[in-house]
Amino acid sequence: MLKFLKEQRRFIFILALWVAAGIASVWAAMVVIPLSVLIMHRLKMYSEILTGFLFVLILSDSRQPMFAFAADVKNVFILVLGAMVLMDRKSFSSPFLVTRNFIIYIVISVFCILLSEFLFNSFQRTLSYVLILTVVPAYFMAAWAKSGMEILRFLIRFGALILVAGFVLRVVNPAFVTLEERYTGLLGNPNGLGLFCTLFIIMISVARDLYKDLLTRREYYTVMALIIFSVLYCGSRNAVVAIGIFFVFVRLYKVSPVFGYLAFVILLVVYQIVLSNLTDIIVALNLQEFFRLETLENASGRIVAWEFGWENIKENIWIGKGIGYTDNLYKLNYAMLSIKGHQGNAHNSFITFWLDTGIFGMLFYVIALIRSFYKGYKRSPSAIPALFAILFSAFFESWLTASLNPFTIICVIVITLLSANLQAEKEEDDTADESTEDETEQLGVLPKPV
């Protein structure tokens, strides 16, 4: 970690400058951050720009007043990145690598803007979702074309640094990383940290499937230890189960894909049995404190949120009212839901998709997501288990429906990694000529993994 800090001291200084500008004034951040991104782009610092964007999204998730500027800056940041991808086509060979998989969902989302009760808000959110599906793959591929696997190492080491910073603050200033006596790290809440760790593990595992020499054994176990301790400290039940699902199915799919699919079907069958006896199982394992048994029965208020969401879905199951509608709906009914024991949004990505874009929007998004990971399984045994873990976590949190958060960006990076390797395979099948292979590598197509 110290080596990473030393090697990337220029980048760390830039991030510190961003934070200092933001603390001084949101307007200072609005000038300093976009301007520095433009300079970094001219210097072809694609890895640093993508990682810096992730950093701003992490800060925007924080509840600390000193980081409030990030919530405003991230909107400008994504627009700047979108403008650069549009104007500098030579540097970005595959801007629609991921976007094209979600084109039907995007079309439905655009149509739903016309039905929105919050027209401008819906337009903004729809645009940001299209941009996140476009600029993140574009910058990832540009970074790969310049430095290869270093972009993956860079992201992984930076993610580890974020977790280390949380532990340091836990010692130096515990209140800074604590919410209602639960550890949050640099994220806004414990479940956010758990979700970050879940997606971080998925990204590392998929990357290591494709590139065996990505990390040394020591690096890998150090990062995994940081993730596991972070999850245990934050006490996120969803993260524990999602990560458990991921690792169990990774093992099963390595034995046999057929065995893995069979196990998933069996899991669906026994799910209701386990759920109805979950309290007894937790007590028998003496884990009632970790799983916060007193809040388990109503899923920490989620049941109230889901029932409210379903009642609104039944009013019109076919057509949604635009991306962002669900958030506004829950805000308008905050007082009533609080009385019933719920605070926040729908806490379910699929309910949110349904309310925002109707049943067809939800279905086509899920189909695109499944298709992206299913095709990626050909080269990464972790792809399908990753899909299961993501679908599980999305069932309990609405992160997948939002674009500008520190979770969706990691998911898009994973999809890009899988899709890019598929593209590489297609290029290799089309030609056996070595010079052509060199040319595709220059275009940013990831090489076939060893």
Report how far residue 169's alpha carbon sits from residue 99's, in angstroms, rounded to the nearest whole number.
38
Angle at 306 (CA atoms; ends 300, 311), nearest 5 degrees: 150
Q: What is the pLDDT of residues 49-67, one digit of tens each?
A: 999 999 999 999 998 999 9
CB 249 within 8 A of CB 384: yes
User: How far lies 309's CA from each of 302, 306, 337, 399, in Å?
Assistant: 10, 5, 11, 16
Q: What confidence tier does 174 reach under pLDDT thresholds 50, 70, 90?
A: very high
- Rg, C-alpha atoms of the chain: 22
* pLDDT single digits (tens) 355-385: 999 999 999 999 999 999 988 887 888 999 9
The ranges assigned to domains in the chain are 99-416
Nearest to 292 by CA among 243, 237, 337: 237
**Following DSSP, what letter does each residue of 160-197 receive, concatenated?**
HHHHHHHHHHHHH-GGGGEETTEE-TTSSSHHHHHHHH
CA distance 188 to 179: 8
Which residue is listed with tokens 């645009």? Answer: 127
Confidence grade of residue 40 (pLDDT, cut at 50, 70, 90): very high
Please state, as a whole number, how many other Cβ atoms lie within 10 Å of the Cβ of residue 37: 23
Look up residue 367 and give its amino acid.
I
pTM of the model: 0.88
328-359 pLDDT, tens digit per residue, is 888 888 777 777 666 667 888 999 999 999 99
Residue whose C-alpha is closest to residue 394's, from 334, 338, 354: 354
Q: Contact, 26 vs 73, CB < 8 A? A: yes
Tens digits of per-residue pLDDT, 414-430? 999 998 865 555 555 55
The better pLDDT of the pair 429, 308 is held by 308
- Straight-line distance from the first to the last Cα atom of the chain, in angstroms, rounded to the nearest whole number: 27
DSSP assignment of 106-143, as one string? HHHHHHHHTT-SSHHHHHHHHHHHHHHHHHHHHHHHHH
In the numeric block, which tokens belong to residue 407? 């979770």
Length of the chain: 450
Indicate whether 432 pLDDT > 90: no
Percentage of residues in the chain having pLDDT higher than 90: 55
pLDDT in tens, 81-117: 999 999 988 888 777 889 999 999 999 999 999 988 8
Average of per-residue pLDDT across 395-414: 93
Under 8 Å between Cβ of 339 and 297 = no
Name the average pLDDT for the chain.
85
The dihedral of CA 114, 72, 393, 206: what is its sign? positive
Q: d(Cα 193, Cα 235) in Å, to the nearest integer?
A: 10
For residue 392, CA distances in Å to 226, 252, 284 come to 22, 18, 24
CA distance 414 to 244: 19
